Structure 1
Amino acid sequence: MIIDAHCHVWPDHIAAKVLAGRPAGLDPVHDGTLDGLRRTMDAAGIDMAMCLGVANLARTVDRTNEFIGSVDRSRFIPFGTVHPGLSIEENLASLKRHGIRGVKLHPLFQELSLGDPAVVELLHALAEEGIVVITHAGAGGDEASNERGHPRHLRALADGVPNLTLIACHYGGYHRLDTAEELVVGSRVVLETSWPPRLADLDPDRLRRIVAAHGADRMVFGSDWPMADPAAEIAAVRALGLTRQEEDAILGGTLARLLGIVEAD
């Protein structure tokens, strides 16, 4: 089973407008719609994908969760949104209302810091509810956004919120891989493999060392669709020459275990 942990989707009438703005300075390679994601998955041999919704503003949290909660759950796994501008109770109520058991945080687009006490308090509440959290981690283009997603915040969350299942995108440090290797690799944080626009841009020897140091049982495949092509990213993982057990774990086994997904016979 192959599961993509990192797919951004928007309603059809919004996707083109969002992508025209080149999020995070990247050029999209797909259209950002649910139908587009399904076609991409079919072409790449992906069984399931986490659909990530991000509300940049507190007032759009419930609207975003309504859309994400409506996805076809036979192929898509809804990961909704929260915002520190709402109370913990309001955030939890929105997730429950739309049947969502996972959350995406984005320090860049939401302008929230993973070290903000209000965010940490919210993550404690999510952990108590058994809600899995995936977050952007690493650089964001300027000093303020770099700080909001700094790898040291991931390590502090791993140590300070021990019952939280935390998935860190981009090996825990987009364009801050040295720092992520120092602070996050080897911790209890689950590392996700995306490195847009191409995972192949990273040194494969370095990636093999990260897998050996962190463990494939705490790593998950993600493409960062629609900013990267999942088929090429899967090929890059397979080109690392990992053991079959490690490759299977990263491409789907680890995430299936974390999310309680049972592969159909």
Structure 2
Amino acid sequence: MTAFSAERLIGDLAVTLDLDVLIGAYPDRDGPPGTPATVLGTLAEHRVAAGAVASLRAALFDTASGNDEVLALAAEDARVVPVGTVDLRDPIGAAAEIDRLAAAPVRAIRLFPDEQNVEAGFPSVRHVARRAAAHGLAVLTGGDVRRFWRPFSGIGATVVFLDTHFYHLGDFLVAAADEPGFHTSTRLLNSPNALELVASHLGADRMVFGSRTPHAETAVPLLRLATGGLSPDAVAAVAGGTARRLLGLGAAS
């Protein structure tokens, strides 16, 4: 019997932009330290050319200094696309930080509602959603898509739901049918036909590759994308083409 080989199945699949990359560590759970060098090394090992990087320091401790860390890293390394983070527990401060980030080379903000114990119905989420949309920033948000779709509806927002689980895919499909700015990460779409369902109902350009490196296995979404039934053009869109368009980066060189 031939041994299972994820690398063989993934083959020569290359990702031009991973939209779910973190630096830093969670202080209350086991896991890697998430240093920039190790994170970027992991991406390179898996043929991921660039990552949209957000800071756990910004999400958990100090928003401004964590965001500045990501901006400095992006200035030093072209593989880093900086993603700003705001604190949903402080909607006034979050709006001010969005204003600051919009004036910097930031094209997306990331929300951490679970880590910040914020629910979708809190006024702060809608406030932040409106401010980001007004600046034309894409929003990358965690949380259960069955609840977190609502504060982004009807405002023309560009949103990537990072935690869409294949158990909840039907809810994403019906919500996104009325919201052309709604997109989903592929990280948890690991059922046999999840990617194909999104492609057939909405189009493959409503999916983006996300791995949550280094706090999840980078190879898992790669394996699903490489072995699915999508066309080569659709795979290229998921593997970075759509993410680069959403962030206004143009085609990869």
Instruction: Identify the match of residue 167 of structure 1 among 145, 160, 170.
Output: 160
The match for 1:255 among 243, 250, 253 is: 243
Out of 177, 184, 205, the residue aligned to residue 217 of structure 1 is 205
Counterpart of 1:79 (choices 59, 83, 89) is 83
Indicate the percent of aligned positions where both proteins have the same amino acid.
24
User: What is the DSSP-based 3-state SS (H/G/I as helix, E as strand, rest coil) of the residue aligned with 2:70?
Assistant: helix
- Give me the TM-score of the superposition, normalised by structure 1: 0.77
Q: Is the 8 A contact 1:8 1:53 kept in 2?
A: yes
Q: Does 1:118 align with 2:112?
A: no
Alignment partner of 1:136 out of 142, 145, 148:
142
Distance 1:262 1:112 in 2: 34
**1:152/1:184 contact within 8 Å kept:** no
Q: Work out whether 1:21 is the aligned partner of 2:24.
A: no
Out of 141, 153, 156, the residue aligned to residue 148 of structure 2 is: 153
Q: For residue 103 of structure 1, give the secondary structure of its aligned residue in structure 2.
A: strand
Instruction: Tell me how large the CA RMSD over aligned residues is.
Output: 2.6
* Residue aligning to 1:146: none
Q: Cα distance 1:203–1:232, how it changes in 2: closer, same or farther (>3 A)? A: closer
Which deviates more, 116-125 or 87-96? 87-96
Residues in 1 aligned to 2:205 and 2:105: alpha-carbon distance in whole angstroms: 27
Query: Gaps (5+ residues) in structure 1?
Result: 23-27, 139-149
CA distance in 1, matches of 2:245, 2:126: 25
Work out whether residues 66 and 98 of structure 1, in 8 Å CA contact, stay in contact via their aligned partners in 2.
no
Q: Residue 122 of structure 2 aligns to which amino acid in structure 1?
A: D
Q: Is residue 3 of structure 1 aligned with residue 2 of structure 2?
A: no
* Separation in 2, partners of 1:94, 1:260: 19
Q: In the alignment, what sits opposite 2:12?
A: none
Tell me the amino acid that sits aligned with residue 110 of structure 1. Answer: Q
1:43 pairs with 2:45: yes
Deviation at 1:124, TM superposition (A): 0.9
3-state SS in 2 of match to 1:224: coil
Q: Report the Cα offset of residue 20 of structure 1.
A: 6.3
The TM-score with structure 2 as length reference comes to: 0.80
Deviation string 1:29-55 (CA, Å, 9 cap, x unpaired) is: x54221012111211111110102244
**In the alignment, what sits opposite 1:180?**
172
1:46-125 matches, within 5 Å, as: 46-54=48-56, 55-56=58-59, 60-72=62-74, 73-84=77-88, 85-87=90-92, 89-96=95-102, 99-125=105-131
Letter in 1 for 2:153: D
- Cα gap change, 1:263/1:21 in structure 2, threshold over 3 Å: closer, same or farther? same
Separation (CA, whole Å) in 2 of partners of 1:47 and 1:127: 28
- Residue 140 of structure 2 contacts residue 161 of structure 2 at CA under 8 Å; is this kept in 1? yes
